[in-house]
Amino acid sequence: MVIQVNKTVRVAVIFAPGEAPRPIWFDWNRRKYQIAEITYRWQEQRGATTLHHYATAVDSNLYELIYDSNEQSWMLGAVDTEQR
């Protein structure tokens, strides 16, 4: 089941030369979620803003993290609680 969240979250990211930014954990509802894997990433243009989407795996759930390059902020877009 996919649940739309669309809430601002705190994210720890590794920026390495020549590589795409890689989120390693995020904080949601006072709980820290350690990202085990980035399963997919894509970009979306909304006017002058580029949104960077990351499908991330934590335990048996998938979480969509979205980075807004204009606002320089992160949002948890959706949670997929289906068993992987």
Residue 7: HSE in the Cβ half-sphere, 13 Å Cα cutoff? 12
Say what the pLDDT of residue 83 is: 61
Beta-ladder partners of 54: 41, 65
- Look at residue 84 and tell me whether its pLDDT is greater than 80: no
The structural domains of the chain, with segments of one domain joined by +, span 2-80
Q: How confident is the model at residue 20 (pLDDT cuts 50, 70, 90)?
A: confident
Residue 38 structure tokens: 């980035």
Q: How confident is the model at residue 82 (pLDDT cuts 50, 70, 90)?
A: confident
